[in-house]
Amino acid sequence: MNQNVKAQTLSWWKELFPLAVVSMVLYYLMLTWSPLVGIVVMLPMVVIGYLFGATPFWWMLIGLVPLSVNTEIFMDSAVGMYLPTEPLLLGFLILSLLYFIKHPIERKYVNHPISRLVMLYYGWMFISVFFSSHFLVSLKSFTAHMWYVVPVLYLGSRLLKKKNKRLQFLHLYIAGFAVVLFYTFIRLWIHGFPVKASQWLMQPFVKDHTLLGAILGLVMPYLYLRSFSVESTVTKRFLWMGLAGLSTAVLIYTHSRAALLSLAAAGVIYLFVRFRVRFRVLVAAGLMILGLVIWNQDTLIEKLSANQSESSGELVENIESISNISSDASNLERINRWNSAIEMWKVRPLFGWGPGTYQFEYAPFQNSADLTIISTNIGDVGNAHSEFLGTLAESGTPAFILFLLLVVVTLGTAYRRVLKLRGRDRLVLLGALLGLVAYFTHGVLNNFLNSDKVSVLVWGFSAIIILYDVEKRKV
């Protein structure tokens, strides 16, 4: 058994090491010469991958995603992209479409409710492109979504079919992300754990602390589950504990309040799973709480307005400031963006303004009473600060409803299935469930599905959930 594992590992490294070297050379050329080098290289990669198989390329891509660099951070380039992963993902989008012609996706996977909702959601988004106020911007935005969804969610239906490959997916991503965590923590330490500078010290790997917080929300549940798993050896548990502790330290010292809130939500869902509460009970309780919030919204707003806690370097004050809607500029600007998104939706309720257009259109929809010290009258930067309201403004009511359904069905499928699993399968699926709970909670306050670092995990976790559900239905 051990010999087979060693032989498989050796074979795996023989395949990946040359590809890693090639990717590093490509990476260097993109940074020093032109990002278009990546596009040129992708053409032969598509041909070679189609003829001889692209599995090693795919696994290399998963490990490289956490280490990708946004060229907009440090280069004055006409083409903004994440290097080296976005050219690779574009190549895989083409390769996947060619591959599916000869090897169609299994019908049970395509017909799964999650898969159908993904197709309906992106189908409507594609339609909204043709009603966009900026057609080329929307077409590019939609294509970018596709090079995350198709290679990860649908090609993943084959590459993640074996259960050990699902572990490999998680571990490869975490291995790359561990480098980012060490890098960020060391820079925080060198700078004396500053408050303001902590928002950008994770560059060039991650744009800012909010994106880093979203990634931490996706991976930290799995890190903690592995830390306390009785199936792992003592040595491995100490390793996982070290990574969990490092991620917690980075989370605290980068002061991402949305990440703290999202992980708290994941913790609550973990307790529900632990006590085996049924999903229908969970939904009923959620609807009841939502009803109470709506019924008492005036009282709640009055109490929230009395909160004067500002975000700071103190953990307790940082948590308390989450609900400060009276003086915290970040929270007030978020409300400004939300109100602008709703006003945009009122003008174009069916098709929206087009994918990726919010930042170009929201300025005239700002109410003067909502403006803050960090608002801009030009309105040419930023987004809706909400995955849900951003969808509503850019692709209209149908897309918003489909996205809500997709979130509920995905989480519901994972929740019901995890209650029936045991052992390592339960651990992997529970990690995916809690990671998505954290992300979609975070998605109320920010939107990062246009980032490779987030999208690869979101759609990878979704593929894992579908595969576990399909397998259980066969039994």
Confidence at residue 313, expressed as pLDDT on a 0 to 100 scale: 53
127-131, 135-139, 365-369: lowest mean pLDDT where? 365-369
Question: Interior CA angle at 251 toward 248 and 256, to 5°?
Answer: 155
40-44, 219-223, 422-426: lowest mean pLDDT where? 40-44
Q: Check if the beta carbon of residue 84 is closer than 8 Å to that of residue 218.
A: no
Return the top range by mean pLDDT from 4-8, 324-328, 371-375.
371-375
Q: Please state the length of the chain.
A: 475
83 beta partners: 69
Q: Which of 382, 380, 294, 307 is nearest to 337 (CA)?
A: 382
161-170, 375-384, 441-450: lowest mean pLDDT where? 375-384
Is pLDDT at 321 greater than 70 in this prediction? no
88-97, 151-160, 346-355, 394-403: lowest mean pLDDT where? 88-97
Is pLDDT at 377 greater than 80 in this prediction? no
Mean pLDDT for 105-134 is 96
Burial class (CB in 10 A: 0-12, 13-18, 19+), 292: exposed
70 beta partners: 82
* C-beta atoms surrounding 237 within 10 Å: 16
Whole-angstrom Cα distance, residue 139 to residue 126?
8
Tell me the backbone φ, ψ of residue 198, rounded to 5 degrees. Answer: -65, -15
| 440-460 burial: b if 16+ Cβ within 10 Å, else e | bbbbbbbbbbebbbbbbbbbb
Distance of CA 89 to the CA centre of its chain: 15
Token reading at 60: 């290399």
pTM above 0.75, yes or no: yes
The DSSP code sequence of 49-77 is HHHH--HHHHHHHHHHGGG-EEGGGT---
